[in-house]
Amino acid sequence: MTDAREGGTGISVRGLTKTFGPLRAVDDLTFEVRPGRVTGFLGPNGAGKTTTLRMVLGLIRPTSGETLIGGRRYADLENPMRVVGSALEATGFHPGRSGRDHLRVLAATHGIPDSRVDELLELVGIPAAARKRAGAYSMGMRQRLGLAAGLLGDPEVLVLDEPANGLDPEGIRWMRGFLRHLAHEQGRTVVISSHLLSEVEQTVDDVVIIANGHLVRQGTMDELHGDPAVLVRTPDAPRLAEALRTAGLTAQAGDAPGTLRVLTADPARVGDVALAAGQPVHELRPLRTDLERLFLELTEAPEHSNRNRQTAPPPAGTPHELSGPATSEEAPR
């Protein structure tokens, strides 16, 4: 495998729209994906993730807008397999063929030597299983085989659809370390989709969150976590708040009675102020952003109500009207 790449190859998505009949599966989507980082492409079921990734990979044509990889359209890449690798579905293998044979066929059609196949099977941790029929693979093994297939061309960009699906906890840990290594040590651009922020929060550096085909948030995980804060519980919250303010800290009333939310990353500082002010402390801990709640708030806001229930976007100025039960009916891909 190649070492860290200079500059790196990012992905630009600009004004991307895809309609299927009256359905706007992807609606004027614009975002950037940076090299050397793992980006989580997130949204609830039916948000438009797979459709977007299929456009990025040149598998379907946008209705309007464009996606660029390293500044070029997929169709203009001379050797696409060396620029971008992907694993969109872990089911697309011939069931009677061994995983190894599957990769060998793929490699041969792209002039890639068999030695690369064995190297990759080793790397993704299924060297022995690779000689078995792919039809007998567990979901986790299919994920690993899909990952190996995506890496065959030693691509600068790797795009994976729900790579944690079907993996056991050890598999998830392995995948996390592997993807972070590909991005951080080797400078690749790694994009993984998921419908759960909590599933990928320890893996990704950046997030692009979509709902209803629209972008709802793009940023780093740190930005998503927001400013660090400490929760302190004390019998006399107003008095402690005063002492904290005098010490130069910002203290706000917490959610529960008798608690304060102090804007600092350092609980010891809060404890020291309380001690100096003679205020008992009954609880003191760093506050973590409830990412799952934040994700739901972002993606379930009224303006992102499930587009699957509408037959067409409502005319401007009218409230969203829902015309049926929420289903995640999947059209054939």
Ligand X SMILES: Nc1ncnc2c1ncn2[C@@H]1O[C@H](COP(=O)(O)OP(=O)(O)OP(=O)(O)O)[C@@H](O)[C@H]1O
Alpha helix stretches (DSSP H) within 159-318: 169-180, 197-200, 221-225, 237-246, 267-276, 291-299
Minimum CB distance to ligand X smaller for 259 or for 310: 310
Q: Shortest Cβ distance from residue 16 to ligand X (Å)?
A: 12
CB closer to ligand X, 26 vs 249 = 26
Residue 64 or 328: the one with the smaller Cβ distance to ligand X is 328
> Is 51 one of the binding residues for ligand X (CB under 6 A)?
yes
Task: Please calculate the CA angle 88-89-91 and round it to the nearest 5 degrees.
Answer: 155
Measured on CA atoms in the order 279, 280, 283, 286, is the torsion positive or negative?
positive
Compose the 293-332 pattern: x for residues touching ligand X by CB under 6 A, - for all others.
---------------x-------------------xxxx-
Measured CA to CA, the distance from residue 274 to residue 144 in angstroms comes to 52
The Cα angle at residue 225 between residues 246 and 284, in degrees rounded to 5: 45
Q: Are 153 and 57 in contact (CB under 8 A)?
A: no
Residue in 91, 12, 1, 21 with CA at minimum distance from that of residue 55: 12
Contact segment (CB under 6 A) with ligand X among 49-57, 115-123, 150-158, 230-238 equals 49-57
Q: Look at residue 158 and give its three-state secondary structure.
A: strand
In whole angstroms, what is the distance from residue 161 CA to residue 171 CA? 16
Stretch that binds ligand X, among 46-54, 115-123, 168-176, 196-204 (CB under 6 A): 46-54
Please give the torsion angle defined by the CA atoms of residues 166, 169, 171 and 174, in that order, rounded to the nearest 10 degrees.
140
Please, which of residues 5-44 interact with ligand X by CB under 6 A? 20, 23, 25, 43
Residue 45 is a binding residue for ligand X (CB under 6 A):
yes
- Options 35, 48, 140, 163; binder of ligand X; rule CB under 6 A: 48
The yes or no reply on residue 195 touching ligand X (CB under 6 A) is: yes
Nearest CB to ligand X, comparing residues 20 and 285: 20
3-state secondary structure of 302: helix
Shortest separation between residue 242's beta carbon and ligand X, angstroms: 49
Q: Which of 11, 13, 38, 47 binds ligand X (CB under 6 A)?
A: 47
Cα Rg for the chain, rounded, in angstroms? 24
d(CA 201, CA 291): 8
Minimum CB–partner distance for residue 43 and ligand X (Å):
5
CB of 309 to ligand X, least distance (A): 10
Query: At its nearest, how many Å lie between ligand X and the CB of residue 155?
Result: 21
Residues of this chain that bind ligand X (CB under 6 A)? 20, 23, 25, 43, 45-51, 195, 308, 328-331, 333
